[in-house]
């Protein structure tokens, strides 16, 4: 995992906190579908309702693609949250756009990939949030099965789990994120969303999310 810029990481984290796209509740943790207890909930789709934040994210994802993947020929969004972000980027970059379903369409052509891609086409995948990377990398696999050359992936935010780094490395996918958990905590402290006394607990969660809070 790489980031575009430390100052961008801090600004994006700050703005996501301000619009409550990211919520921190270490004393009253959320429960994920996996059963993990989590002190953080992230819904970057909220950013679409705030033009200032939406444009901040769009502009810096565009810069990330131009910097790390200048040879890109098309953009692919991961359903569902990566679809609007990907469409915004494709429009800004004047590139074709497709999206990848989580499962085949139940009728008609039963497509996994919606839109037109060609074998050998150089594609960057767009995701909103990276946790373990499982669903995101499934989209990469589907694109590769269609003969597409996946250059890498860009995302708004990552929890920074080591398992995600391992999964992306194993899949040979370069991941670029605008912001991540480590950039978030200082901003949360500065805004008084959290106190110093919960910082160690929040840090432990990222190291061992499966056993945190037990």
Q: Which domains does the chain show, CATH number per domain?
A: 6-207 (3.40.50.2020)
Is 134 annotated in a binding site? The answer is yes
Q: Which two tokens mark 37?
A: 């207890």
Is 77 annotated in a binding site? The answer is no
Task: Please give the chain's pLDDT, 214 residues, in tens.
Answer: 999 999 999 999 999 999 999 999 999 999 988 888 999 999 999 999 999 999 999 999 999 999 999 999 999 999 999 999 999 999 999 999 999 998 776 555 568 999 999 999 999 999 999 999 999 999 999 999 999 999 999 999 999 999 999 999 999 999 999 999 999 999 999 999 999 999 999 999 998 998 997 7
Is 120 annotated in a binding site? The answer is no
Q: What are phi and psi of 189, to 5 degrees?
A: -65, -45
Is 101 annotated in a binding site? The answer is yes
Q: In this structure, are residues 9 and 3 in contact, taking their beta carbons and an 8 Å threshold?
A: yes
Q: Which two tokens mark 59?
A: 């502009």
Is 132 annotated in a binding site? The answer is yes
- pTM over cut 0.85: yes
Is 133 annotated in a binding site? The answer is yes
In 83-148, DSSP assigns E strands to 97-100, 113-114, 122-130
Is 103 annotated in a binding site? The answer is no
Q: In this structure, are residues 101 and 54 in contact, taking their beta carbons and an 8 Å threshold?
A: no
Is 63 annotated in a binding site? The answer is no
Is 127 annotated in a binding site? The answer is yes
Name which of 189, 78, 93 is nearest 139 in CA terms. 78
Is 179 annotated in a binding site? The answer is no
């Amino acid at each position: 995992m790489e980031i575009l810029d430390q100052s961008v990481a801090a600004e994006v984290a700050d703005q996501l906190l301000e619009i409550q796209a990211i919520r921190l509740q270490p004393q009253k943790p959320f429960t994920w579908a996996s059963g993990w207890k989590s002190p953080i909930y992230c819904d970057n789709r909220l950013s679409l309702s705030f033009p200032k934040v939406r444009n901040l994210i769009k502009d810096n994802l565009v810069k990330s693609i131009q910097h790390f993947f200048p040879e890109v020929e098309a953009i692919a969004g991961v359903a569902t949250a990566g679809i609007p972000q990907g469409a915004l980027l494709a429009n800004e970059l004047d590139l074709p756009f497709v999206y990848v379903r989580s499962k085949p369409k139940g009728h008609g052509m039963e497509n996994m990939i919606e839109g037109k891609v060609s074998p050998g086409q150089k594609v960057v995948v767009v995701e909103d949030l990276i946790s373990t990377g499982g669903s995101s990398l499934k989209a990469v696999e589907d694109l590769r099965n269609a003969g597409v050359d996946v250059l890498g992936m860009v995302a708004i935010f990552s929890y920074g789990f080591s398992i995600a780094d391992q999964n992306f490395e194993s899949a040979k996918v370069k991941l670029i994120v605008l912001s991540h958990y480590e950039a978030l905590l200082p901003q949360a402290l500065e805004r008084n969303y959290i106190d110093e006394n919960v910082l160690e607990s929040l840090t432990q969660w990222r190291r061992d999310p499966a056993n945190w809070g037990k």
